[in-house]
Amino acid sequence: MSTQPAGNDDDPGVDAVAVATTPVPSQRAVARARRAASLRRFVRAYASRRAGMLGLAILLVFTLLALLAPVLFPAEMLDIIETVDNDALAPPSGEFWLGTDENGRSVLAVLVWGARASLIVGLAASLISMLLGTLIGIGSGHFRGPFGSALQRLTDWFLVIPFIPLVVVLAAVLGQRGLGTIVLVLGVTSWPGTARLVRAQTLSVEGRPYLERAKALGGSDWQQMSRHVLPNVMPLVVANTTLTVAIVILSETTLAFLGLGDPFLDSWGTMLDKATDAGAASTGAWWYLLPPGVCVIFVVLAFTLIGRALEAVLDPRLGRD
């Protein structure tokens, strides 16, 4: 591990050390190299986990579809005015691989566009949840007095709020049930899980001597939290957020299915909602009902597998990084 350094002895003349300032550029360069090396290590560790790679593959497929949606299926295909001439609820055929919905739109087209909607909502809401959760989690773990307790109470409070009534209330308060509302609601209800995790990790880091040293050196609360707590907490947050995306997508689907989503948004949830409204179950229009459900399952599975793999790789108990 360490080689014997030359001159570990102490010779007199402590002031007479002429120091070149050249170390600085090389220290940055080497720090960069170290980061690159640890990134390579991370990638290798992740790549060795088959479940995680499977999840990543599935996600890649859906992301590609979501990105290419406008190319594969031009927006006009979703305009019900354009498609009014098509047969409604027609089974799969050569022209429409997954049949048509009650407005004559290609189910496949709506499905692919739905991927966009679901992924965007999932990621946006998870981002909010991650930011809120991390901030509040670190805050409640670091500050000991009334402020920390208040944050902790806030977390507990939000944790137990039933999710669907909150959506209804927020939607009523905010007036419209657009995409923004959905993202906001989902973000606001998912952060407590992250916050609790972050708080636990913060408490464990706070107990370590180097935090006390940071305080003794004169570091402010902000400096202590950003230099020492945050880097230790981030890996856990990343892994947890990935799992949160899965939950958020599922929640959005639930909301839409219950009719509480944005009716103008073509997400998988709204597809399921419209399909049941159109009586797809009783008329046997499986091509309308099944695909969105299956897609949700696959995407949620993908994020779960990725999240679990990240947790395993980034577990701080397994060493540095």
Partner 1 sequence: MAVLELRDVHLTYRTAQGPVPAVRGVDLSVDGGEVLGLAGESGCGKSSLVACVLRLQPRSATVTGQVLVGGENVQTMSWRRLRAVRWGEAAVVFQGALHSLNPIQRIGRQLVEPILLHDSAATPRTAADKVAGLLAQVGLPETHADSYPHQLSGGQKQRVMIALALTCDPQVLIADEPTTALDVMVQAQVLELLVGIARQRDMGVVIISHDLSVLATTCHRVAVMYAGRVVELGPAQELFEHARHPYVRALARAFPTIGEARSRYAPAGLPGDPPFPDRLPGGCPFHPRCADAVDECSSVDVRLRPAGPGRVAACVHVGAGVG
Partner 2 sequence: MSLPGENDTGSGPVLEVEDLSVTFRGRGGLAARALDGVNLAIGAAEIVAVVGESGCGKTTLGRSILGLVRPTSGTIRFRGEPLSYAARALKRYRRDVQLVLQDPTGALNPRHSVYEAVAEGPRVHRLGDEPGRVARSLAQAGLRPPERFLLRYPHELSGGQRQRVVIAGALAVEPKVVVADEPVSSLDASVRGEILALLLRLREQLGLSLLVVTHDLGLAWNIADRIVVMYLGRVVEQGSTEQVLSHPQHPYTRALLSVVPEIEHIPSVVLSGEAPDPSRIPTGCRFHPRCPALADGTAAAAGIADDCRGRELGVLPATGDHLAACHLRPPPLHPPAALRESAG
Which residues contact partner 1 (rule: CB under 8 A)? 1-2, 4, 8-9
Measure the CA angle with vertex 149, ends 146 and 155; round to 5°.
Answer: 145
Measure the CA angle with vertex 146, ends 196 and 244; round to 5°.
Answer: 15
Least spacing, CB of residue 237 vs partner 2, in Å: 15
Contact flag: residue 27 with partner 2 (CB under 8 A): yes
Q: Which is nearer to partner 1, 4 or 176 (CB)?
A: 4
Q: Taking CB within 5 to 8 Å according to partner kind, which of partner 2, partner 1, none is near residue 19?
A: partner 2
Contact flag: residue 85 with partner 2 (CB under 8 A): no
Q: Which is nearer to partner 1, 1 or 14 (CB)?
A: 1
Q: Which is nearer to partner 2, 8 or 176 (CB)?
A: 8
Computed over its alpha carbons, how large is the radius of gyration of the chain?
A: 26
Least spacing, CB of residue 211 vs partner 1, in Å: 22
**Tokens encoding 28:** 């940055």
Q: Which is nearer to partner 1, 3 or 26 (CB)?
A: 3
Contact flag: residue 37 with partner 2 (CB under 8 A): no
Residue 276 · residue 253 · CB < 8 Å: no
Dihedral sign computed on CA atoms, order 37, 39, 45, 50: negative
Least spacing, CB of residue 102 vs partner 2, in Å: 56
Q: Taking CB within 5 to 8 Å according to partner kind, which of partner 1, partner 2, none is near residue 172?
A: none
Spatial separation of the C-alpha atoms in residues 304 and 300, rounded to whole Å: 6
Q: Which is nearer to partner 1, 11 or 85 (CB)?
A: 11
Contact flag: residue 9 with partner 2 (CB under 8 A): yes
Distances, alpha carbon 245 to alpha carbons 60, 139, 186, 187, 190, in Å: 15, 23, 10, 10, 9
Give the binding range for partner 2 (CB under 8 A) out of 27-35, 56-64, 119-127, 177-185.
27-35
Q: Which is nearer to partner 1, 1 or 18 (CB)?
A: 1
> How many residues bind to partner 2 according to rule CB under 8 A?
38
Dihedral sign computed on CA atoms, order 116, 118, 119, 124: positive
Residue type, 29: A
Strand partners for 169: none
